[in-house]
Amino acid sequence: MVCAILVVAMAQSPRAEEIRRPILPEQRRMAIRDPSCLPPSRLPPVAAPATVSQPRDDIQGNKLSLDEAIRIALANSEVIRVLGGSSGQTQYDPAITNTEIDRNRAAFDPTLSIENQFFQRKPPSAFIDPHDPNRVLIDGVRTNEYNMGLGLSKPTISGGTVGLGVDTNPSRSAVTGLPLNPETSSAVDLSATQPLLQGAGARVNLAPVEIARIDTERSFFQLKDAVQDMVRGVIEAYWSLVLARTDLWVREQQIVQGTWAHGLAVGRLQVGLGNRAEEAQARSALAEFKAARITAQANVLAREDVLRNILGLPPSMPMRIVPVSPPSSERVPVDWQAIVAVASERRPDLVELKLVIEADQQRALVAENDALPSVDLNGLYRWNGLEGRSPDHQIVSSVPGQFTEWQLGVNFSVPLGLRKARAALRAQELVILRDRANLEQGLHNAIHELAANYRNLDQFYDQYEAYQKARAAAQDNLEAQAATWGTGQNIYLNVLQAITTWGNSVNSEAQSLTLYNTELATLERQTGTILETHGIRFAEERFCAIGPLGRMFPGRHYPRDMRAGPNTNQYKETAEPAEQAFHLDESLRVRRPKSGAYTSPSPAEMPTNQLRVVPPERIPAPTPAPPPGQ
């Protein structure tokens, strides 16, 4: 309906005005079509993604190793994705740039031209009537002519041009008494032109081809740089999901501990050992733990979606991702001098800056040549011929090679001062200096990035070891605070602080180790070796297209794209979720209600040993909840 209305409206549109005004049409209005009139986009079937209120816990988790995640991302890398969206690079870019080589090579292709012209001439002319001198007559003589010109020229890499020309001009006239009628004149000539200064030499004439080759290399290294970012992004998204799942497990455990503490506070209140404030504080803490669990659940869903996005998967498929590659807990020694040397040679962005300087040098060669005077040597040698029918109907023709011509000359041209060309040369020389400075700055920046990686690796691993000890101490403190509070020797605030400290220590341990593993990938990215480390190679795909001989001949195979092949396995894969690398206790589990919500037990449901004062060793410890995804 909208399109029909627009069609009616277009009757008064600028297009209709152009039809009514075929002479000097003007565009006096903007013709904007409704988006519904455009071809619809191809939408894949996408189910609604999971939410916190609809987590789809009944769905079996899809186990995914880190190697498989990288492999999926590489398989879906027609457009290179990075964390946060697209890199703007596609696997087709190097092949598109590669076509510029043939475009510049085409400057040296021979050119064949054939011209055919048919004429009938009868120009009017005035003459005195031979029978009456006072009378002027106007008449004309008809002449039929045919001109054929064939030319073949070939530019040379030295800057010159060689050519072959063939011309023939048959002519028949209605005039009688001509020496030859019909008459055919012909000529065959060889010509050559060679610059002696400006435009002379193979290097300057091949410079555009070399620049095109360099641009192809630049496009490849830009693609490689984007793929490196993608691989590093997959690794970071994977470890972020592992950390989010660990945090969710911690929140589940805090709810279990908070439920136990609140039940004990209710029991203490009932037997007169506690007070209302203590029970309210425990209830408030339990509510906060439940709210924190919602945030952790949302973070897991968000981290899963980030991973799906960079892998090129729909937001709802697979419904749940269970990472099964545990982070490495071993310290990797790093040789500072070695990583700096490798980065200076292998980093794609530094390689591209080096290629930019190579292209600048080729452009400087052209600019230097353009600043020279134009001195061209030209020569021509021609064979002329004539053939026709004489009045006695005899065929008369010249002897081949009888009538020859030659021409030799030197042409000189120069703008006085050459200010434009010399200004362009100065600009190109300054561009080289600028790009060399950019290369030095790029190397300087790379070294600082490597220094940050070097420090971060040392920091994150030391923090991991320290948080391991802090977690063990927090666990002991939690057990001690819970036991003494159960016997009335402590206050609940100390128990609450112990629960919070324990959760923070577990999260900090997981965060430091996942950051350490992410930083290892970042170090490989900064040195430009992350693809080689993962066994990733680029393959040149081919496709058939029309070749130089045209459509009447078989097509030729040309590069279509540069795609990254599958990676080799580099990471461990276990049957358990990756967060179990942090030794999360799976031996005891608490069954959650189907609604997924925890509720405080009533006094009647509480164990009797929580309603009276008992020795600390008999206080039941909180039972851990199952890790997420189990």
Does the model's pTM come out above 0.85? no
| pLDDT above 90 for 489 | no
What's the whole-number average pLDDT of the chain?
86
| pLDDT above 50 for 615 | no
Residue 38 — pLDDT band, cuts 50, 70, 90? confident
Torsion of CA 412, 418, 421, 424, to 10 degrees: 170
How far apart are alpha carbons 343 and 101 in whole angstroms? 29
Beta strands per DSSP E along 180-259 = 183-195
Determine the pLDDT at residue 482.
83
Q: Report residue 204: phi and psi, to 5°.
A: -70, -35
- β-pair type (321-323, 62-64): parallel
Residue 46 — pLDDT band, cuts 50, 70, 90? confident
| pLDDT above 60 for 572 | yes
Residue 619 — pLDDT band, cuts 50, 70, 90? very low
- β-pair type (183-195, 161-173): antiparallel
Determine the pLDDT at residue 610.
32
- Token pair 């991302």 is found at 73
Look at 67 and 43; give whichever has higher pLDDT: 67
Q: In sequence order, which residues have a C-beta less than 8 Å from that of residue 363 and are 6 or more positions away? A: 207, 211, 428, 431
Is the peptide bond prior to 318 cis by the omega test (within 30 degrees of 0)? yes
| pLDDT above 90 for 594 | no
| pLDDT above 90 for 492 | no
Domain ranges of the chain: 2-37, 62-101+205-358+431-618, 112-155+160-198+374-413
Q: Which residues pair with 384 in a beta bridge?
A: 187, 403
Task: Tell me the CA end-to-end span of the chain in Å, nearest whole number.
Answer: 52
Residue 226 — pLDDT band, cuts 50, 70, 90? very high
Sign of the CA dihedral with 367 first, then 368, 369, and 371 last: positive
Tokens of 592: 């959650």
How far apart are alpha carbons 405 and 410 in whole angstroms? 17
Sign of the CA dihedral with 305 first, then 311, 317, and 321 last: negative
- β-pair type (143-155, 161-173): antiparallel
Tokens of 595: 């609604």
Lowest mean pLDDT among 57-66, 68-77, 603-612: 603-612
Candidate CATH numbers 3.50.50.60, 1.20.1600.10, 3.30.43.10, 3.40.50.1970; the one for domain 62-101+205-358+431-618: 1.20.1600.10
| pLDDT above 60 for 558 | yes
Lowest mean pLDDT among 326-340, 406-420, 572-586: 572-586
- Report yes or no: 313 and 329 within 8 Å, Cβ to Cβ: no
Burial of 276-308, coded b for 16+ CB within 10 Å and e otherwise, reads eebbebbbebbeebbebbeebbebbbebbbbbb
Residue 132 — pLDDT band, cuts 50, 70, 90? confident
- Report yes or no: 624 and 585 within 8 Å, Cβ to Cβ: yes
